Amino acid sequence: MVAPDVELIGVTKRFGDVLAVRGVSVAVARGEFLTLLGPSGCGKTTTLNVIAGFLRPDEGQVLLGGRRVEHLPPYRRDTAMVFQQYALFPHMTVAGNIAFGLQMRKVPSSEIGRRVDRVLEIVRLPGLGARRPSQLSGGQQQRVALARAIVTEPTVLLLDEPLSNLDLKLRESLRLEIKRIQRELGITAVYVTHDQGEALVMSDRIAVMDQGVIEQVGPPAEIYEQPRTPFVAEFIGTSNFLRGRLASVENKLARVILRDGTELWARQPDAGQRGEDVLLMIRPEHLRAARGEAHGPGTDRNELRAKVTDVVYLGSYIRYAAEVSSGEAVTVEEQNVPGAARCASGELVTLEVAPEHCLLLWEG
């Protein structure tokens, strides 16, 4: 079995009394794009800096290509970082910046010229080698930073929120471009961001972090569709949470009773039961608002009685805010079908949701 390009085993990092990262274990396979996703202060950048060698872990192991590297300084590790603020050398030209890593590796100067030109083409900045970083736009500077990192052909590319200083349009196009380059070069990448959209679009796997701990690791679809903790469900996409009591499990479906006695069927959790008090998670797009009590609930369909409190028109879809009979506020998102009747604010409706879209979660 090939050793993963990056492996963290029980990595812990403290800053004074603050535990920035606690017991993080994760492996990144060759050519894989892993994103560390989480709110600011969750420890994702600290984790990245531990991999790069800028920080030493207080506990745990860091392996690159199966080799332990905790004791190695950054300049002896085969990683390359793209920084949030670009960190281009202002006193060097674009070509000088890109050539720096090659010069440090004692690559012959004739070859340096060729490789700099080629990487400038890869990042789509051909002919800009003679410019100074200050003469480039933010997006161009970030491309140079990317070129500087990949020209040395590192085993692992580390990216620390590389797009967060750019405007939305540029961010979206650069996302795809970074992903294209990473895939074409077959380079292993660890990407740090707080932007769930970026994480979903770019990653092979996402590790969601909170308070120094990895809450869940998995492919984007799994993270979105089967979040394992309320934090993950809340952080990725929008979620509705209903408090309830787990009454029984029948035919692979869990029967949950809400605070007002409403009975709902939910997907049986993968993990074993962890107590009676549960949270029922439902994505807004899985709820449908129907007028009146058209059908009647069953194990194939759940119904919630609710009162619409607000209607927001968003073009391609309509968003309702509603209060369900158990008193909790929920959000409903429906495709906008022009001409179709809409619910009005104050109207009493029935919210329908299929049991497979109701997910059982436990707090803490």
Q: Least distance (Å) from other proteins to the CB of residue 54?
A: 6
Q: Least distance (Å) from other proteins to the CB of residue 192?
A: 15
Return d(Cα 308, Cα 254) in angstroms, integer: 27
Q: Using CB under 8 A, which of 101, 218, 220, 227 touches other proteins?
A: 101
| Token code pair at residue 326 | 């158990």
Q: Least distance (Å) from other proteins to the CB of residue 6?
A: 15
Beta carbon nearer to other proteins, 70 or 204: 70
Q: Using CB under 8 A, which of 10, 18, 56, 85 touches other proteins?
A: 85
Rounded to 5 degrees, φ, ψ at 102 are -70, -40
Q: Least distance (Å) from other proteins to the CB of residue 337?
A: 51
CB crowding 190-202: b at 16 or more within 10 Å, else e: bbbbbbbebbbeb
Beta carbon nearer to other proteins, 19 or 87: 87
Distance in Å from the first CA to the final CA of the chain: 36
| Token code pair at residue 213 | 């701990």
Residue span binding other proteins (CB under 8 A) among the ranges 73-81, 197-205, 219-227, 236-244: 73-81
Q: Least distance (Å) from other proteins to the CB of residue 64?
A: 13
Confirm or reject binding of residue 44 to other proteins (CB under 8 A). no
The DSSP output letter for 82 is: E
Confirm or reject binding of residue 239 to other proteins (CB under 8 A). no
Q: Least distance (Å) from other proteins to the CB of residue 143?
A: 15
Helix/strand/coil percentages in the chain, nearest 5: 25, 35, 35
| Token code pair at residue 192 | 């740090």
Which amino acid is it at 13? K
By CB under 8 A, how many residues form the interface with other proteins? 22
Q: Least distance (Å) from other proteins to the CB of residue 79?
A: 7
What kind and span of H or E run contains 322?
strand 317-324
| Token code pair at residue 216 | 């869940």
Q: Using CB under 8 A, which of 56, 67, 105, 124 touches other proteins?
A: 105
Listing DSSP states for 237-290 in one string gives S--EEEEEEEEEEETTEEEEEETTS-EEEEEPPSSPP--SEEEEEE-GGG-EEE
Length in residues, the chain = 364
Beta carbon nearer to other proteins, 54 or 114: 54
Beta carbon nearer to other proteins, 54 or 295: 54
Confirm or reject binding of residue 54 to other proteins (CB under 8 A). yes
Q: Using CB under 8 A, which of 9, 93, 100, 285 touches other proteins?
A: 100
Helix residue spans in the chain (DSSP H): 44-52, 94-104, 109-122, 138-150, 168-185, 196-202, 220-225, 230-235
Beta carbon nearer to other proteins, 14 or 288: 14
Q: Using CB under 8 A, which of 152, 203, 229, 331 touches other proteins?
A: 152
Q: Using CB under 8 A, which of 52, 287, 306, 359 touches other proteins?
A: 52
Q: Least distance (Å) from other proteins to the CB of residue 52?
A: 6
Q: Compute the half-sphere exposure of residue 161: CA atoms within 13 Å on the CB side of its CA.
A: 17
CB 237 within 8 A of CB 285: no
Q: Using CB under 8 A, which of 81, 120, 136, 360 touches other proteins?
A: 81
Torsion of CA 168, 85, 215, 7, to 10 degrees: 130
Beta carbon nearer to other proteins, 100 or 362: 100
Residue span binding other proteins (CB under 8 A) among the ranges 35-43, 76-84, 325-333, 343-351: 76-84
Query: Interface mask (CB under 8 A) for other proteins, residues 106-145, using x and -?
Result: ----------------------------------------
Residues of this chain that bind other proteins (CB under 8 A): 52-54, 73-75, 79-81, 83, 85, 87-91, 100-101, 104-105, 148, 152
